[in-house]
Amino acid sequence: MTSDNQQVVFSGVQPSGNLTIGNYLGAIRNFAAFSEAYKCYYCVVDMHAITVRQVPAELRRRTYETLALYIACGLDPNKNTLYVQSHVPAHAELAWILNCYTMFGELSRMTQFKDKSAKHADNVNAGLFTYPTLMAADILLYQTDRVPVGVDQQQHIEIARDIAVRFNGVYGDTFTVPEGIISEHGKKIMSLADPTKKMSKSDENVNAVVYILDNKDDILRKFRRAVTDSDTVVRFGEGKDGINNLMTIYSCFTDKSMEEIEREFDGRGYGDFKSAVGEVCADALAPVRAEFDRLMADKAYLEDVMQKGAQDAAYNARKTLSKVKRKVGFTTL
Ligand code: TRP
């Protein structure tokens, strides 16, 4: 909590790869709703991104793009602190300290580390291993109460809580113990090509993934090609992973329940349904894309947002960091 008792929300998105409708429905779309009641920090986590190898010019471009996308998805820079992680050195400083209160064993158990080290076997670096402590630092620096994330980040929220509790246990109350908000809607959007796998921005099959910034034709085509079963009835059920996924996506964009969707498409085939899913998705994303294009043409504005966001974040982060340094016994000048 902040000193004026306002609750704090923090979340981060990596500027690596294009964001998918899974990122949109499961996370970003829900961020704007918090800004009325909470003090909100939404960070572009470029330091996390370099745990896997990046092309420098692309990382730089995607950092701007992620910030632009935050704003295009409805985050008002005057109501939210939008900033870039590497612009606030307190993240790196606290991450180092927290590394010394995080156990090798608990980091070894992280499923994301296991997955990513299998995928990038030639670059299993220490940063990939300590990724969760940097994420804990992000969250704990701002005395965060709530962390809205997709379900794949649940384990990282748990370890951030464990680190906070451990530190508080040794030094007395220092950190707010954060709680995850795992979005109900769009909990898990699956690949359109293999609906047993999560939709992933790094999928090599372009038809498997719908990106937030895809144009209408691409969106319609991808949904038309989505893999489904050999049944013909639009019904939510076991063994119908493809249809279940399309129904989930349709439900997220229209707020209709599964029963309503079944009724709406009663007697109509999969083809009709797939076109309808494509249409609602394309319609919802069109204004986001238009605003994104407008923002990307105005770098000066984006830099101004980054600058102000970093200043505000740094100011608030310093309070926690000074407290932590004092508690662990660092000398001050
Ligand atoms: N690890 C998160 C992801 O890949 C991104 C992230 C970094 C984050 N720091 C965070 C999310 C702090 C929430 C809070 O999605």
Ordered per-residue pLDDT tens for the chain, 333 residues: 665 679 999 999 999 878 899 989 888 888 999 999 999 999 999 999 999 999 999 999 999 999 999 999 999 999 999 999 999 999 999 999 999 999 999 999 999 999 999 999 999 999 999 999 999 999 999 999 999 988 889 999 999 999 999 999 999 999 999 999 987 655 689 999 999 998 988 888 989 999 999 999 999 999 999 999 888 899 999 889 999 999 999 999 999 999 999 999 999 999 999 999 999 999 999 999 999 999 999 999 999 999 999 999 999 999 999 999 999 999 988
Residue in 187, 188, 201, 327 annotated catalytic? 201
CA 67 – CA 51 distance, rounded (Å): 20
The predicted structure's pLDDT at residue 189: 92
Whether 163 and 288 map to the same domain: the answer is: no
Q: Residue 144: CB within 6 Å of ligand 1?
A: no
The predicted structure's pLDDT at residue 187: 60
The predicted structure's pLDDT at residue 150: 81
Give ∠ CA 73-78-82 in degrees, rounded to 5.
60
Q: Residue 48: CB within 6 Å of ligand 1?
A: yes
Query: Strand, helix or coil at 140?
Result: helix
User: Of 78, 43, 88, whose CA–CA distance to 63 is shortest?
Assistant: 43
Give the residue, out of 149, 155, 159, 188, with the most ligand 1 atoms within 8 A of its beta carbon, to mutate for a pocket test.
149
Q: Residue 136: CB within 6 Å of ligand 1?
A: no
Q: Is the dihedral of CA 211, 214, 216, 221 positive or negative?
A: negative
Whether 94 and 39 map to the same domain: the answer is: yes
Active site residue 299: no
CA 296 – CA 294 distance, rounded (Å): 6
Give the residue, out of 16, 30, 43, 176, with the most ligand 1 atoms within 8 A of its beta carbon, to mutate for a pocket test.
43
Whether 165 and 256 map to the same domain: the answer is: no
Domain-located, residue 24: yes
Whether 305 and 283 map to the same domain: the answer is: no
The predicted structure's pLDDT at residue 1: 63
Q: Identify the residue whose tokens are 């990046």.
A: 54
Domain-located, residue 2: no
Give the residue, out of 13, 139, 156, 163, with the most ligand 1 atoms within 8 A of its beta carbon, to mutate for a pocket test.
156
The predicted structure's pLDDT at residue 35: 93
The predicted structure's pLDDT at residue 330: 98
Whether 171 and 313 map to the same domain: the answer is: yes
Active site residue 79: no
Token digits of residue 18:
């294009």
Whether 132 and 261 map to the same domain: the answer is: no
Whether 20 and 167 map to the same domain: the answer is: yes
Whether 311 and 229 map to the same domain: the answer is: no
Active site residue 116: yes
Domain-located, residue 30: yes
CA 223 – CA 281 distance, rounded (Å): 10
Structural domain containing residue 122: 8-182+299-328
Domain tally for the chain?
2
Domain-located, residue 117: yes
Whether 151 and 76 map to the same domain: the answer is: yes
CA dihedral 144, 161, 324, 314 (to 10 degrees): -30
Strand order in the sheet with 8-13: 81-84, 39-44, 8-13, 146-149, 179-182
Which residue has its alpha carbon closest to ligand 1 atom 8? 12
Whether 138 and 271 map to the same domain: the answer is: no
Helices 90-99 and 126-140 cross at an angle (nearest 10°) of: 110
CA 254 – CA 248 distance, rounded (Å): 10
CA 2 – CA 293 distance, rounded (Å): 35
Q: How many residues does the chain have?
A: 333
The predicted structure's pLDDT at residue 17: 76
CA of 317 to the centre of ligand 1 (A): 17
What ligand 1 atom has the least distance to the C-alpha of 48?
Answer: 7
Whether 71 and 175 map to the same domain: the answer is: yes
CATH number of the structural domain spanning residue 238: 1.10.240.10
The predicted structure's pLDDT at residue 135: 98
Domain-located, residue 177: yes
Whether 236 and 321 map to the same domain: the answer is: no
Domain-located, residue 193: no
Domain-located, residue 191: no
Domain-located, residue 189: no
Q: What is the DSSP letter of 190?
A: B
How many Å is the Cα radius of gyration of the chain?
21
Token digits of residue 137:
């630092």
Query: Strand, helix or coil at 253?
Result: helix
CA 193 – CA 206 distance, rounded (Å): 9
